[in-house]
Structure formats: C-alpha cells, structure tokens
C-alpha cells in the first residue's frame, strides 16, 4: 500500500505545477474566481499533507492490534480519504464563475468523516497494543 500511495505523488506534483501556471497567468483561457483559486489551493495542499499521513498510517498499521478486516479498512481508508478530501475541494469549485461550493461538496465532507474514522480506529488499535 505504501508503494501505491507513493506512486500518486507525481500527480500531486503535476497538479501543483498546473496551479502555479494557472495563478501566474499562463492559462488566460481559464477565468477563475477568488473562491475557485482558494479551493484549488486548498485541494492541492490537502492532497500533499494527507498522502504523507497515509504513508505514515501504513507503517503504524503494522504495529496496531486490530483484526485483519479493520487493518485493511484503515490501510485503504487513509489514501481514499486523501483522494476524497482533496478531490472534494476541486469538484466543489468546478464550473464557470463559481463563487460558492456546488452540490458535490458532499465528497469533501464524506472524506473528512472517513479520515476521522480511520484516525480513531488506528489510534484505538495502537493503544490496544
């Protein structure tokens, strides 16, 4: 799982390069609102941080006292929550001239719930050790 998660990092790098070019005016065809810029920055920042957390969680999962099903839920849940949280910022801001989140913002909230659940389950598993 750690290898799979690490293989996602180049997509985050590419996305950061695209956002940098976008904000520096290289893509004049995209007219973004301040809301969209803020959401895209937040999505990118959360992607990087949560992927690092997902890799750390893989290592911690090796040392917790949980059943195999719970361990695999944690192992999959951390990277999935990184995708959902960061992706939720992007899809919630998608659309021309958007100044507030669209209905797809629920993906962000579902990702936050999944992340919190995985953190609690992993924490309990580590304390049981």
Instruction: Decide: helix, strand or coil at residue 1.
Output: coil
First CA to last CA across the chain, in angstroms? 22
**Of 14-28, 77-91, 115-129, minimum mean pLDDT range:** 14-28
Residues 18-52 have pLDDT tens digits of 888 888 877 777 788 999 989 999 999 999 999 99
pTM: predicted TM-score of the whole model, two decimal places: 0.90
pLDDT at 19: 84
Domain locations along the chain: 2-26+35-128
Torsion, CA 43, CA 110, CA 49, CA 19, rounded to 10: -10
CA distance 72 to 66: 10
- Residue 85: which of 49, 47, 120, 121 has the closest Cα? 47
Q: What's the whole-number average pLDDT of the chain?
A: 93
């Amino acid at each position: 799982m750690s290898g799979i998660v690490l293989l996602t990092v180049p997509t985050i790098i590419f996305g950061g390069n695209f956002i940098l070019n976008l904000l520096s005016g290289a893509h004049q065809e995209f007219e973004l609102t301040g809301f969209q810029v803020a959401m895209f920055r937040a999505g990118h920042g959360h992607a990087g941080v949560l992927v690092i957390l997902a890799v750390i969680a893989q290592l911690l999962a090796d040392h917790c006292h949980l059943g195999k099903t719970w361990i695999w839920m944690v192992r999959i849940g951390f990277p999935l929550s990184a995708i959902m949280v960061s992706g939720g910022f992007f899809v919630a801001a998608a659309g021309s001239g958007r100044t507030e989140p669209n209905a797809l913002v629920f993906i962000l909230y579902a990702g936050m719930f999944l992340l919190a659940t995985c953190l609690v389950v992993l924490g309990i598993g580590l304390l049981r050790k």
